[in-house]
Structure 1
Amino acid sequence: MKKLSIYFIMFCALVGQNALAQQPTTLRGKVLDETGLPVAGASISITNTQAATSSNEAGDFTIQYTSPATLRLSALGYVSQTISLTDQTTLSIRLVPTEETLEEVVVVGYGTQRRGEVTSAIASVRSEDFVKGTVRDAAQLVQGKVAGLRITTPNGDPNATTQINLRGLNSINGSQNPLVLIDGVPGNIATVAPEDIESIDVLKDGSAAAIYGTRATGGVVLITTRKNRSAEPRSSIEYNNYANVQTIFRKPEMMDANDYRRLIAEGYAYGDSSNNTNWIDEVLQNPISHNHNLTFFGGSSQTNFTGSLNYRGWEGIMLKTGQERITVRADLNHEMYDGKLRTNIQVINQTLSAKQGGAGGWAWRQAMIRNPTEGIKNADGTWKEGTAYMYDNPLGIIHETVNDQMFRETRFSGSLDYRPIGDLSLKMLVSRVINNNLTGSSTTFQHVNTTKNSLNGTANRSTTANTEDLLELTANYNKVFGDHRLNLLGGYSYQHNVGEFFNVYNFDFPNDDYSYNELEAGAALRRGQATMTSNKDMWKLIGFFGRVNYSWKERYIVTASVRREGSTRFGENNRWGTFPALSAAWNVGNEDFMQSAGFISDLKLRAGFGVTGTIASSPYMSQTSYNFDWQQGAFINGEWVQGFVPARNFNPDLRWEKKEEWNVGLEFGLFNNRLSGALDWYTRNVKDLLYNFAVPTPPFLYGSMMLNAGEMQNSGFEALVNVRAVDNENFKWTTNVAFSTNRNKLVNLSNDQFNVTTEFFDWGHTGEPIQVSTHRVRVGGPIGQFFVLKSVGLDDNGKWLVESRDGETIPIANATPEDRQYYGNGIPKYNLGWNNTLNIQRFDIAVNFRGAFGHQLLNMQRLYYENPVNKAYNVLKTAYDPVYGKQLNNDLVYVSHYIEDADYLKIDNVTLGYTFRPNAIKGISNLRVYASGLNLYTFTGYKGIDPEAVNMGVIGNENFTFSPGIDHRDKYPSTRTFTLGLGVTF
C-alpha cells in the first residue's frame, strides 16, 4: 500500500509537470520595416498549429504558443521570416523588403524614408541600373543617370578618378566635391569596389543636405554596400570577373617622316635624321586588364555575414603605367534580445600599388613634338637626345624613371542599434579610418636629369598619413496614430582628423642601383642642396542635429531639420554655425478627387529651403603663422641665422561659406507608372565666399589674407523622365532621359571691411612659352568665360590681326592686355544622359548616351602644335593649312582662333549580356556572360581629341574651378575600352 502511494504521488507530479509545461505562452510583438515604421497587415502564425493573427495599424500583434515553437511572418513586399520561440513574451521584428520594395526606400541623412514621403530633391540609383562593364570608380556607375550631377572622365590614366560636380560651381577656395558617405562613414568615390555597391543616393538640394552642415554645399553622395538581406538561412558565393583591352580613343595627327621630307623639298628648314619613327606609337602599348570580385553571403535572420574580395589589375595605354588594387570587406550583423539589439561590424581594407611611367603628361608632350626622322637610340645604345629647349626623348623619360605609389587604407566601423520599445531606436556608430600614401621616384644616370643637367641621378620619397575618428549618436522615434505618421531624429556627431606629411629629395648619387631606397647616399645632402619638408595638422568637427518628418494620410508631408555645428578650421569668433532646412510635399495623387483620373498613378508637388556650408580647404587659415626663411636672415655673432617671417595673418572672424538654396519639384507617374519622372527648379546663393584678398602691410603682417567676401549665384532646371516603352513577357524596353541646365553668376567680391579695387580676378594659364591667364571672372558676369584677344584674320606676312577694345582691326603687335575680351564659356549650358535597357528573352542590352551642349573649349594642342613657326618641334598635319586664306607665320599667342564650339553626344556604353537558365549547370544558380564597350564614339564638331576629357575642380595642386574648358596638351590620352565578363552564383 505504501508503494502504491509513492507511485501515485510520482504519477501526479509527472502529470502536473506535463500539464504545467503545456500551458501556452502569450507573445506580444511588433512588426517594423527597415525604416522603423510599423508594418500593418503582416500575417503571423505558429507552424504546425492553427494559431494565426495579423499586425494592426501600429504593427502590434498578440499570439499564443506552446514552447518550443516556430513563428512565421509574411507581408506583401517583404521577405518571409521564421523565428524560433523558446518562452519569449515580447518580440520586435524587422522585415526585410523584397528587391521590388527596396526601390521604394530612399536613403537620406542618418536613415531612410519611403519614397512617397520624401520632400526633397533626392536621386536614387540601384545596382541593376548601374552603368555596365568596366568602370573606374563608384561615380562612373551613375554617369548620365542623375540629373544635375555632372561626372566626367578627364583622361585615360588608370590611376585617375572621375570628377564630380553637382549643380554648378559654389566656391572659390573651398571644396567643390560632394560629401561621400559609405554606410554612414566619410570616404571617397574610390573607397569601395564598384562591384560591392548596392545603391547610390544623391542628396541634391539644400533641404536634403542641410543636416550635414558645413560639408554639404557640394551635395551628398550616400553609398550603400551590398549586404546579406535574406531573412532565411542562406549561404551563397558570387564570382564576377572581366577582362578588357584598351585602344587610344583618337590619336593626334602629327606630321610623319614623309611630311618632313616633302616640306624639306619645298624649302622649309626641317632637319632629316634619316629615320622613320612614330613617337606616339612608341610610347603606347596594348594593355590587357582584369578584375575579379568574390562575394560570400551566409547566416540567418539573427546573424548574417557578407564578405567580399576584389582584385583589380589594370594596365594603362602608356608604357609603364597601371595599378594593382586589392579591396577586402567584411560585414557582420547580429540580432539579440528578441530583435531589440542589432549590432554591425564592418572592416574595409584597401591596398593600391600604382606606377606612373616617367612624368606622365611630359612624356606624352615629348612624343607629340619629337622629330619623326630622328632615331630612338644612339649607336652606343644611349637615348638619342636633342638640344632644343624643353625637348627630351620620351622613351628615355619613361624607361629611366621610376615613379611608384603604395596606398593603404583600413576602415573600421561598428554600430549598436537598440530598441527599448518598438517605436524608438537608439544608435551609436563609431569608426576609424587610417590611410597611408607612400610614393617613391628616381631617375637613372641615363635620364636627361643627368645627361643634360649633370645631376647624377635623383631620388625622392614622400609619405602622407591620415587618421580620422568618428562618433555619432542618434535617436529615432517613429509613431503611427490613425492617419498620422511621425518621425523624430536627434543626434550628435564628433569627427577628429590628424594628417601628417614628410618629403625628402636628394641627387648626385655614386650609382643608380638603389633607386629611391638609399637617399642618404646622394652627395647633394652633404652640400646642403637636398631638400626636406614635413608638416602635421589637426581639425575637429562637432555637430548637434535634429529632424522631424510628419505625414497625414500620405498626402501632406512636412520635414524640418537643423544642425548646429562647430569647426576648428574657423576663427575663434565664428567657430559655430546653424544650418536649418524646411521642406514640404503634397501627394496630389492620393487625394480622393484624383481617383477618377485613372491614368495618373502618382503626382507629388514638393518645395524646400535649406542652408549648407563650405568648410575652409585647410586648417589654421584663421591663425597667424610664421615660417623660417634662409633668404631673409641676418649675421649674428658671425653666423647666418635664418629669418622668422610672417606667412599668414590672424583672422578671428573667418567663417564658413553659406549656401541658401530653394528647390521646387514635381514628381509624376502616368499610366501605371509606365511614364514617370521628376522635374526640379532651384536657385542657390552662396554668401561669405572664402577669398584671398590682397591687404596692406602694415598694418597687416602678410600681404594677403583669407576672408569671407563676395557672393555667387546658381540657378537651374533638372528633368528625369523614365519610360517603360515595351513591357511584355518576351521583350522589355525601358528608357530614361536625365537633362539639366545651370546658370551661374558672381554677384560681388567685397565685404563690410574690404572692397576690391578691381571687381574681377584672372584664372587659368596657358603654360610655356605664352604664359598668360586664360579666364576672367568678373562681378555680375558668369563663371567660366575665356578672356582672350579676338582674332579676325592674318596680314600679308602671316601675322595675327585682332580686334581692339574699340572694335577696330589692329596688328597683334599693337595689341595691349586691355584689348582682350570675353569669348565663349567652358561650362556646358546643357547636360544630357539617355539610357536604354532592352531584355529579349534571356538577352539583355544596355545602350547609354551622354552629351554636353552650349560651351566652348580651348584646344591647347592646336594652340601649340598648329603653328609651324618653330621648326625644332613637330606639329599637327593641319599646321600648314590656310588660316583666313593665308599661311600662319606668327609666334605662339593666345587668340580666340583656338577656342572652339565643343558640343558633343557620346555613345558612352553598350553592353550585351546573356543569362542562362537557373541550374543549367549543376550547382550554379545564376550564370551571366556579357560583352561591353565604353567610350565608343563621339558625335562632335570639335577638332581636339575628346571634348569630355577636360579637368574641372581641384586636381592635385592645381585648381581648375574657374578655368573650365581647357583641353590641356599634356593630358594622358583618352581610351576606348572593350570588355568580356561573367557573373556566376553558387
Structure 2
Amino acid sequence: MKRLYAYLALLITLCLSILHPVFAQQKVTGIVFSGTDNSPLPGASVVIKGSTIGTTTDANGRFTLTASPTATLTVSYIGYQNTEVVLGNRTEISVTLAADDKSLNEVVVVGYGTQKRRDVTGSIASVSAQAIKEMPITSAEQGLQGRVAGVQVIQSNSAPGGAISIRVRGGNSVLGGNEPLYVIDGFPVYNSIGTNDGQSQPTNPLATINPNDIISMEVLKDASATAIFGARGANGVVIITTRRGKAGPGTVDFEAYYGVQTVRRKLPLLNGSQYMDLANEKARNLGQTTLPFPDKSSWPVSTDWQEELFQAAPIQNYALSFSGGSETSRYAISGNWFDQQGIVIGSGFSRGSVRANMDNTISRKLSLSTSITASRSINQQARTSINFGNGVVYNALISAPLAPVYNADGSYFRVNTIPATEPFGTNPLALAQEFSNQLVTNRILANTNLTYAFSPELALSVRLGIDYSNDRTDRYFSRKLPGSTGQASVFTGEGSTYLNENILTYKKQLGANHSLDATGGFTWQESVFSSLSASSQNFAVDLFGTDNLSAGNSPGLPGSGRSKNTLLSWLGRVNYGFRDRYLLTVSARTDGSSRFGSGNKWGFFPSAALAWRVSEEPFMKAVSWISDLKIRTSIGVTGNQEIGNYQSLNRLNTVTSIQGVTQAPVVGFAVTTMANPDLKWETTTQYDAGLDVSFLNSRVNLSLDYYVKNTTDLLAQVPVAISSGFSSILLNSGSIRNQGFDVSIDGTILNRSKLRWNAGLNLSTNQNRVQSVAVRGGQFFAPLITSPVDLPVNIIREGQPVSAFFGYVRDGLWGEDQGTTSLMPNARAGEQRYKDLNGDGRITADDRTILGKPNPDLIYGLTSQLTYGPFDLNVLFQGVQGATVFNANNFTLSDVFARGNNQVADITDRWTTENRNVNAKYPRASSVSPLVSDRFFEDASYFRLRNIQLGYNLPVGSLGVKWFRSARVYVSGQNLLTVTRYTGFDPEVSSTAGSDLRKGVDIGAYPAAKMWTAGLRLGF
C-alpha cells in the first residue's frame, strides 16, 4: 500500500511539473514604442494570442497583465505592423512597432493600369468589397451611395431592377448623356439610362452584373484621372474590378440571404365618407341642385387602394464561388441567383449569372488573363408611366375609395363610373394584374488580355473583348382590363460591342531619386445595335398573350432598326516621381468618333497634375503627429461623346401618302433633320486642388478637394428659318459651370483589446449654373409634363441651375368674389390667389418665377463600423440638403376635387362657407384647376438610415471542424428611418429618369421599400 502511495505521489508530482507552465501565472509589465520616432504609443492593443484576454497601453505607452510563461502576446496599433512576443520567463518587456505603410502602398486601379495610392496625383475614391457586402444591393452603383464624396446616386426607379442615375460632381449636359463611364475588368461600358417610354420606367443595364463578384470600385473624379478616357471622361469614370484567384489551396465560399420588403410609407388619403362629403360640397359651391351622393349610406364601400396594391415582398440571394490555383494558373469561378419580388403587385426582378476569371502564366515573359460573365435577367415591370391615367401607382392614389375592386361577377369594377369622377383612370388592381410587361435580357461580357514582357520594365498588353446582349420585351393588355380588347407587342433588341486595346507600359526606377511610369496605346471599340418590333390587338381570347400575334384581328405595322458607332483612340500617360515627394502626371488622348460631324472627327484631350508629398520633406520629420501629407492640383480637358448616333447627318423617315386613281397608300421618304457637319463632343475643362493628410500614425485620414468644371459646346436644338424646311438644327452652343468641395474623413475612434470603432464622414457641395444657351432670350423650357399638368415645370435659364423649377407664387385665397378688373377676373371667394410679380395688373405667364432646383446643395454620408470580439455592427447614414421635388401627384390629389379624384387627407384644411380663412392651406372645392405654383414644389432634403447590419463571426477554429475556414451570420435593415419634410412616398425620386430635362418630378413613381434581411456566409 505504501508503494502504491509512493507511485501516486510520484505521478502527481510529474503531472504538476508538466502542467506548471500552463497553470502558472505571472504578472507582466511592458512598454510599447513607435518605430518611427521611438516615442511611447498610448492606446496600443496587447492581447494574449488565441484568447480575448488583453489590455491597452496607458498615456505613457505602458501596460500590465497576467499571463502564463508559455503565452504569446500580440501587440498592435493603427498604422503599425502587428508584432508577436513570446514571454518565456520574462516579466518585463519592451516592444517596438514598425510603421505600416500598407494604406499608402495600397494599389488602386486607374485608367489602363494601377498605381500605389501614395503616388496618385488625381482625385480618386475607392469602395471595397466589404463595404459593398454590408447591404443587399441589386446593382453595383448602389454600393456607391453615401460612401464617396462628390458622387450622387439617384434611384430613378425604386422598382426591382430599376434605373439608377449617377452624377459625379454634378451634371454637365443638357441634351447629352450625364452618366459616368463604367470600366468592368478593363471593358468600357456606358450605362445609358434612357427616357420613359410611356409604358414603364427605364431599367438599369448594370443590373445584369452580380455585385457579389466585385472586389473594389474606384471612382475617378478629376480630369487628371479621367482624361485618359478622352471623349468619354467628362462625366467621371467608375472602374469595377472583380475577384480573381490567388495561388494556394482551393477555397469555396457560399453566401445566402433572405429578406422581406414593405412599402416605406403610404400616403394619407380621404376615406369613402370624406370623399362623398367633398363631392357634395363641390356641387353646392357650383350651385348644383342635385348632389352626387344624396344618400351616403348607399355607398358603404371604402377601398384603400394602396393597401390593395402594395404587398410584403420577399428578396433572396444565393452565391457560390471557387478560387485557388498555382503560381502559373489561377482561377475564380462564381455563380449567383438573385430574386426580388416587388412591393407593387405584378413587379419583380430576378437574375442568374456565372463568372469565370482565369490567370495563366504561359512562360517567363507571356501571361494571359481572361474574364467571362454570362447572365440572364427577367424584369417584370409595373406600369408606372408618367403619362396621366396610365400608371398603376398613380391610379391607386387618384381612384375613388367608393369603388370596389371587383364586380359581383368577378370582373374588375370600372373606377371611372363613380358619380362625380372624371371619365378617366383605370382600376389599379386590373392594371397591376392584367398588364404584363416583361423584359428578358441575356448578356455575355468577356475579354482576354495577353501580356508580353520584353523586359522587367517594358510590357505590351493586347486586349480583345465583346459585350453581347439580346433582350426581348413582351407587353400584353389583357381583355379583362376595362375597355381593353387585348393588345400585344413584342420588342427585341440585339447589341454587340467589340473591343481591341493595345497598351504598352514602361516602369523604371532611375537611380535613387527618379521613377518613371509611362503608358501608351491604341484602342478600337465598335458598337452595333439592331431592333425588331411587332404588335397586334383585338384578341378573341387572352390565351396566347404575346406568343401568337396572329391571333389578334388587327395587326400593327412592324418596325426594325439598326445603328452603329465606332471609336478610334490614341492615348498616353507619363507618371514621374522625384525623391518620392514631387509627383507629375501628364496624359493625353485623341479620339475619333463616328458620331462626330465630318468637320470635327477627332478631338484632343490633355491633362496635367502635380503633387507634393510634404511629409517626405526633412523639415516634416519632426512633426510626428502627421503621418502623411500630400498637396495635389490638376487641370485637364475631357469630352462627352454621348450625343447619339447619326445626329450630324440628314436622316430619313418613312411617310405614307395616297396616290393614283386607286388611292392606294404609297410609302416614301422625307428628310426630317438638318445636317450639321461641324457637330462634335461636349467639352469639359476641370480644375482641381486637393489635400490628402493622415494623422496619428494613419489613425485619422482626411481628403479635401475643390473643383471647378466648365462645360462648353453643349448640344442645343436651335430654331432655324421655316424656309429651310426644318424647325431646328442640332449644334454645339452654350455652357454650364459646376463648382464645389469634396470632403472625406475617416479614422479609428476606439482600438481596445476587443473593442474597435471605425467611422467615416463624406460630404460634397455643388453649385450648378447655366452660363449661356443658344436660343434668344437666354432660356428655354423642358418638355411638357403631360396631363394633368400639361405645362413645363423645368426651365433652362442663364444664371440659374440646370432644369430649375418654374411657376407661380401663391398669395393666399380670395376673400370675396372678384370682378372683371381684378388681377384674376371673376375669381370666386376662396379660390387661390397668385402674386403679380411683374406688376402689370394681371396674372399671366410672365408672373412665373424660379421656385427651386432639383439638384441638392449638399450630399453626405456617414459610416460606422463597430467591432466587439466576434460581433460587429455596421451603419450607413446618407442624405441630401437643398433639393426640391415637383410633387405632380398633388397636382391632382390636392386640386380640391377639380377633377373628381381622391384627395390628400389634409385637404380638410380648406376654405369653406363655414371656414372663410383666406390663409387656409387649400382653396375651395370647385372645378377650377390649379396653376403650377409653389404649393407643389416641396423640400426634398432628407436624412436616412440607409443600412444597419449586425453580424456574428462564429469561432470555427474552436469547433474542431477543419474544413470550415469561416462562418458568419447577420441581420440587416434598409431604409428603416427617413427624416424628411417631403409629403410624397419618398424624397429620392425622379419619375422621368436621370437623362431627361424634366428632373425632380414625382408623378406615379414606384414607392421606396424598407427591408429586413438575414444572411449567412460560409468559407471552406
Instruction: Please identify, of 658-667 and 154-163, the stretch whose mean Cα deviation from structure 2 is larger.
Output: 154-163
Deviation string 1:291-315 (CA, Å, 9 cap, x unpaired) is: 0011101211210110000100110
The change in CA–CA distance for 1:871 and 1:820 in structure 2 (over 3 A counts) is: closer
Residue 508 of structure 1 aligns to a residue in which SS?
strand
- The answer to whether 1:364 aligns with 2:393 is yes
Q: Conserved in 1, the CA contact under 8 Å of 2:145 and 2:153?
A: yes
Q: Conserved in 2, the CA contact under 8 Å of 1:335 and 1:343?
A: yes
Q: Conserved in 1, the CA contact under 8 Å of 2:788 and 2:891?
A: no
Compute the displacement of 1:871 (Å): 6.5
Deviation string 1:235-289 (CA, Å, 9 cap, x unpaired) is: 0100011101011111011112343466579797565532232211111211112
- The answer to whether 1:136 aligns with 2:138 is yes
Aligned to 1:226: 243
Cα distance in 2 for partners of 1:204, 1:891 equals: 46
- The answer to whether 1:190 aligns with 2:224 is no
Instruction: Please identify, of 722-731 and 606-615, the stretch whose mean Cα deviation from structure 2 is larger.
Output: 722-731
Cα distance in 2 for partners of 1:394, 1:800 equals: 31
Cα distance in 2 for partners of 1:924, 1:902 equals: 48
Q: Conserved in 1, the CA contact under 8 Å of 2:991 and 2:1004?
A: no
Q: Which runs of 5+ in 1 are unaligned?
A: 1-75, 79-97, 451-455, 751-755
Task: In structure 2, give the amino acid aligned to 1:979.
Answer: T
Aligned to 2:830: 798
Residue 140 of structure 1 aligns to a residue in which SS?
helix
Q: How does 1:513-552 map to 2 (within 5 A)?
A: 513-525=543-555, 530-552=556-578
Q: Conserved in 2, the CA contact under 8 Å of 1:358 and 1:399?
A: no
Match of 1:402 among 416, 427, 436: 436
Match of 1:965 among 981, 992, 1000: 1000
Deviation string 1:438-470 (CA, Å, 9 cap, x unpaired) is: 0111122211342xxxxx211100011101100
Residue 391 of structure 1 aligns to a residue in which SS?
coil
Q: Conserved in 1, the CA contact under 8 Å of 2:892 and 2:901?
A: no
Cα distance in 2 for partners of 1:897, 1:363 equals: 25
Cα distance in 2 for partners of 1:254, 1:346 equals: 52
Aligned to 1:626: 652
- The answer to whether 1:474 aligns with 2:503 is yes
- The answer to whether 1:735 aligns with 2:759 is yes
Compute the displacement of 1:920 (Å): 4.5
Compute the displacement of 1:817 (Å): 1.0
Deviation string 1:894-945 (CA, Å, 9 cap, x unpaired) is: 1112222232211111111011123345121100111111111111222222
Task: In structure 1, give the amino acid aligned to 2:974.
Answer: L
Residue 776 of structure 2 aligns to a residue in which SS?
coil
Cα distance in 2 for partners of 1:224, 1:102 equals: 20
Q: Conserved in 1, the CA contact under 8 Å of 2:538 and 2:552?
A: yes
Compute the displacement of 1:400 (Å): 1.8
Cα distance in 1 for partners of 2:101, 2:145 equals: 23
Aligned to 1:719: 743
- The answer to whether 1:931 aligns with 2:971 is yes
Q: How does 1:414-493 map to 2 (within 5 A)?
A: 414-450=448-484, 456-482=485-511, 483-493=513-523
Task: In structure 2, give the amino acid aligned to 1:736.
Answer: G
The change in CA–CA distance for 1:160 and 1:567 in structure 2 (over 3 A counts) is: same
Aligned to 2:252: 237
Residue 650 of structure 1 aligns to a residue in which SS?
coil
Task: In structure 1, give the amino acid aligned to 2:459.
Answer: S
Deviation string 1:65-90 (CA, Å, 9 cap, x unpaired) is: xxxxxxxxxxx999xxxxxxxxxxxx
Aligned to 2:706: 681
Cα distance in 1 for partners of 2:689, 2:710 equals: 15
Residue 772 of structure 1 aligns to a residue in which SS?
coil
Task: In structure 2, give the amino acid aligned to 1:768.
Answer: S
Aligned to 1:888: 923
Task: In structure 2, give the amino acid aligned to 1:778.
Answer: R
Task: In structure 2, give the amino acid aligned to 1:473.
Answer: N
The change in CA–CA distance for 1:346 and 1:634 in structure 2 (over 3 A counts) is: same
Q: Conserved in 1, the CA contact under 8 Å of 2:128 and 2:215?
A: yes
Aligned to 2:682: 657
- The answer to whether 1:347 aligns with 2:378 is no
Q: Conserved in 2, the CA contact under 8 Å of 1:868 and 1:880?
A: no
- The answer to whether 1:511 aligns with 2:527 is no
Instruction: Please identify, of 878-887 and 570-579, the stretch whose mean Cα deviation from structure 2 is larger.
Output: 878-887
Aligned to 2:953: 915
Match of 1:854 among 875, 882, 892: 882
Residue 308 of structure 2 aligns to a residue in which SS?
helix
Q: How does 1:747-826 map to 2 (within 5 A)?
A: 747-750=771-774, 756-763=775-782, 765-796=784-815, 797-806=829-838, 814-826=842-854
The change in CA–CA distance for 1:205 and 1:479 in structure 2 (over 3 A counts) is: same
CA RMSD of the aligned region, Å? Answer: 2.2
Cα distance in 1 for partners of 2:679, 2:741 equals: 33
Q: Conserved in 2, the CA contact under 8 Å of 1:270 and 1:871?
A: no
The change in CA–CA distance for 1:567 and 1:372 in structure 2 (over 3 A counts) is: same
Q: How does 1:491-640 map to 2 (within 5 A)?
A: 491-525=521-555, 530-630=556-656, 634-635=659-660, 639-640=664-665
Match of 2:989 among 949, 965, 969: 949
Residue 718 of structure 2 aligns to a residue in which SS?
strand
Task: In structure 1, give the amino acid aligned to 2:592.
Answer: G
- The answer to whether 1:975 aligns with 2:975 is no
Cα distance in 1 for partners of 2:967, 2:133 equals: 19
Deviation string 1:89-135 (CA, Å, 9 cap, x unpaired) is: xxxxxxxxx99569711111000001111111111121123361211
Deviation string 1:457-509 (CA, Å, 9 cap, x unpaired) is: 11100011101100000010000022211011111100011001111121112
Cα distance in 1 for partners of 2:722, 2:402 equals: 57
Residue 864 of structure 1 aligns to a residue in which SS?
helix
Q: Conserved in 1, the CA contact under 8 Å of 2:398 and 2:892?
A: no
Instruction: Please identify, of 516-525 and 301-310, the stretch whose mean Cα deviation from structure 2 is larger.
Output: 516-525
Compute the displacement of 1:664 (Å): 0.6
Compute the displacement of 1:783 (Å): 2.1
Aligned to 2:268: 253
Task: In structure 2, give the amino acid aligned to 1:287.
Answer: A
Cα distance in 1 for partners of 2:282, 2:114 equals: 74
Q: Conserved in 1, the CA contact under 8 Å of 2:384 and 2:394?
A: no
Q: How does 1:836-875 map to 2 (within 5 A)?
A: 836-870=864-898, 872-875=900-903
The change in CA–CA distance for 1:151 and 1:981 in structure 2 (over 3 A counts) is: same
Aligned to 1:168: 170
The change in CA–CA distance for 1:135 and 1:418 in structure 2 (over 3 A counts) is: same
Aligned to 1:26: none
Q: How does 1:387-398 map to 2 (within 5 A)?
A: 387=417, 388-398=422-432
Aligned to 2:406: 377
The change in CA–CA distance for 1:359 and 1:834 in structure 2 (over 3 A counts) is: closer
Cα distance in 1 for partners of 2:461, 2:656 equals: 54
Aligned to 1:216: 233
Q: Conserved in 1, the CA contact under 8 Å of 2:492 and 2:531?
A: yes
Cα distance in 1 for partners of 2:709, 2:236 equals: 12
Residue 274 of structure 1 aligns to a residue in which SS?
coil
Task: In structure 2, give the amino acid aligned to 1:209.
Answer: T
Instruction: Please identify, of 485-494 and 145-154, the stretch whose mean Cα deviation from structure 2 is larger.
Output: 145-154
Aligned length: 863
Residue 1016 of structure 2 aligns to a residue in which SS?
strand
Cα distance in 1 for partners of 2:335, 2:813 equals: 62
